[in-house]
Chain A
């Protein structure tokens, strides 16, 4: 069994199942915070999938995309968290000025 076959038959299906389970939580998630958590996990899974794919096709340039996703996903998560807190503060100030 070559490394390529191992990756295509075992590693990528495992990561794909993880993405499906995470998207189920993102659709179900009762609160917005649950959805943000699921989004963060999807970003980390994307890093893993792109890394493994770059290994299989032997194009190390693809790995740069994983680096960029790691950088951008942090910004997205912190932005959502700030949005949640601001939303709360705005509601409070509107009710009791």
Chain B
């Protein structure tokens, strides 16, 4: 392999390890909000590394342009989608983890009729 391909291989290995980390976090985290955090942050970085590996191997102007557009779009949309899901889940009454310390919407009208009830046991690992 050429040095450029080694660099691309390292980028893609890092990206796929971040994806795996994020999937393990999605499986192991205790409640929906922690899982959402694991699934949105590490995954966008992993996708950016995989796309970067593609751009390194195919240094064509059209490929680099599309990669940059996709990276920009992932960076813009993933946090927005995570925010929308968290908000909808809270208003739908998804329980917080027992050891969560801050709930800024507790008892507000925005939380829905009775607010999200804190569960005693979130034993759904």
Residues of A within 8 A of B (CB): 1-3, 6-7, 10-11, 14-15, 17-19, 21-22, 24-25, 28, 30-34, 36-38, 40-41, 44-45, 47-48, 51-52, 54-55, 58, 60, 63-64, 66-67, 70-71, 73-74, 77-78, 80-82, 84-85, 87-88, 92, 95
Which parts of B40-56 form the interface with A (CB within 8 Å)? 40, 43-44, 46-47, 50-51, 53-54
Number of interface residues of B (CB under 8 A): 57
**Interface of A, helix, strand, loop or mixed by DSSP:** helix
On whether the beta carbons of A41 and B51 are closer than 8 Å, the reply is: no
On whether the beta carbons of B50 and A51 are closer than 8 Å, the reply is: yes
- Distance of A52 Cα from B87 Cα, bound (Å): 33
- Distance of A21 Cα from B53 Cα, bound (Å): 24
On whether the beta carbons of B89 and A84 are closer than 8 Å, the reply is: yes
Residues of B within 8 A of A (CB): 1, 5, 8-9, 12-13, 15-17, 19-20, 22-24, 26-27, 32, 35-36, 39-40, 43-44, 46-47, 50-51, 53-54, 57-58, 60, 62-63, 66-67, 69-70, 73-74, 77-78, 80-82, 84-85, 87-89, 91-94, 112-113, 124
